[in-house]
Structure 1
C-alpha cells in the first residue's frame, strides 16, 4: 500500500549557492531526483504528487522546485542554471549518485546533467522532453498549441487560463482537472515574481545541449512520451532515442504531456523496473 504523504509533511528547504531551494522528500533507497516542467504554477509536488508515495516505497524521492518556480528563490531566465543547481543540491545533501527523472524542462536539465556530470547520474529518465534539430512531423518552427497556452497562463493568470493549461497538457484532464487548475493558480499568484521573471527573458540557451553532446551520453536512458502530446511533439523523443546509444523509448497512447500524471501506475512501474534493472 502506498505511503500516506502530504505536500506539507514532506516539505524541506536547503540553502545553496543558487539560492534558497524548496523540495519534497520521502522514502528510502537509491535517490531519485524528480525535476518538474515549466509553466505557470509548476512545482515538484504538482508534477509528481501522484508518483512520490509509490516510488518512495523503494527509493528516496527528491521533488525539487527549481529556482524560478514554486517556493524556491526567484531568478531571471538569463541567470538560471538548473543543472548547476542540481549539482549543488546533490553536494549539499551528500548524494554521490542519483537517478534523474525530468518532465519537459526538467527533462532538458536531466539531459544536460548527463552531458556535464555523467559520473553523478545513474539513470536518465525523461517525459515529454524536447530536442534540438529540424523536425519532420511536428508543428514546425513556431510554438505549439500547448506552449501558446502556457505563455497565456503567465500573462493572464486566472482560473480560466489554468483550466486551458490543464486541458492542453493532458489527453483527458479527468475528474481532478478543476483541482489541478486551482492548485496551479494558487501557486502562481503566491509568487508573482516568478511570472514576471519568466516573461522577461524566455528560454536560456544553456538549457538545451547540442546534438553532438547528447550523442555522447553513456548513462542508461529511458525516454517516455505521450503520443497525443500537444506541447512537445513525440518526434523529439524519437530524435533523442536515435542520438543516445544506450536508450529506449516508451510511446504511450492516449497520453499528453503529463505521462506521470495521466498514466501514474504505468509510469511508476516503468521507472522502478528501469532503475532496478539497468
Structure 2
C-alpha cells in the first residue's frame, strides 16, 4: 500500500443530524462507495484497506463506517436498520447524486436495499457473498453460529474459531488480526451493539419477527432491482454458502456472477488480485459492451 494511504491520512469525519459519520477517502474520479460487512471487530478500513490503492487509481473511494460498529457515532436504531439510512445521509451530505457501490456481506445487502429504494443513486453494484437465500445448505451457516457463540460469551478462542471460518486458508488469520479484532470486539459499547445484532436471543427474535412480518424479505424483491450487478462469492464460503447465490442469480434482471475457488467469505482479501481485476472490469465497462 502506498505510504500516503494510511489509516490516519485517509480518515475523514462528517457531521450529520444523527451524529458523526466517519469514513476513509482515497483517489480521484467517479465516486465509489465501499460498505463493510458485520462481525466482531469489523470496520470498513479492515475490510477494504488492502484494495484501496488499486481502486484509488480509477475512483474516488469512500469507505463508510456504519453506525453501531464502534467507529461512527451510534444512533438509537438497531445497527442493521440504521445502515441503509446512513448511506443515504452520507451521500446527501457529500452532495453525491449517483455512485457505484461495493458491499461486503451485510454491506452488499445494504447496498442492494439502497438500490431497490433509490435506483437513481446506484449506477453499478458489486456484492461479496452474503446475499440471497439458502437453497441446499442449512441456515444459519457455520460462520453465523460461531459468530453467535462469540457474541454470547466472548473469548479469544471463540474469536479465532470465527475468524478461521471466514477464510479458506487459515494462515490469513494472523496474530495481528486477532489482536486488533479482539480489542474492538470487546469494547463494552461495541459488544453491547453486537449483542443486539448477533446474540442468540436477538437472532431468535429477529427470525420470529421476519416470519410474522407482512413485508417481503429483500431477496424476494430482487426482480425489481434495476442496477447492473456483479455478485462475487467464495466457493468455499462457510458463513454464507455459495448456493445462496441461486436466487439473486436467477431473479436480478442484469446480473453476472463470479465465483472464486479456494476462497472463503472474504473474497476481496483471499482472492485479492483476481477479485480486483473482475470488479474493475465490471465497473469500467461501458454500457453496451
| Both proteins in one fold, TM over 0.5 | yes
| 1:196 lines up with 2:192 in the alignment | yes
**Following TM superposition, where does structure 1 have runs of at least 4 consecutive aligned residues deviating by more than 4 angstroms?**
1-4, 202-208
The residue matched to 1:66 in structure 2 has which SS? coil
1:160-191 CA deviation, whole Å, 9 max, x = no partner? 2222122100001325522211111122234x
Unmatched segments (≥5 aa) in structure 2: 197-201
RMSD between aligned residues: 2.2
Q: 1:275 to 1:78 in 2, by over 3 A?
A: closer
Give the 3-state SS of the residue equivalent to 1:157 in structure 2.
Answer: coil
1:145 aligned residue = 142
Which residue matches 1:181? 178
Query: Secondary structure, in 3 states, of the residue corresponding to 2:89?
Result: helix
Change in 2 beyond 3 A, CA 1:92/1:60: same
Q: Does the CA-based 8 Å contact 1:98-1:122 persist in structure 2? A: yes
Q: TM-score, normalised by structure 1?
A: 0.90
**Pair 1:172–1:183, CA change in 2 (3 A):** same
* Alignment match, 2:27: 27
Distance 2:110 2:216 in 1: 6
Indicate the structure with greater helix content: 2
Report the equivalent of 1:63: 63
Q: TM-score, normalised by structure 2?
A: 0.87
Q: Counterparts of 1:21 and 1:50 in 2: how far apart (Å)?
A: 22
Asked whether 1:245 is paired with 2:246, we answer no
Aligned mate of 1:275, from 264, 275, 283 = 283
Q: How far does the alpha carbon of each residue in 1:127-182 deviate from its partner, in whole angstroms, 9 at most, with x for none?
A: 012224xx43212xx42110011122323333322221221000013255222111
Aligned residues: 272
Which shows bigger deviation, 37-46 or 13-22?
13-22
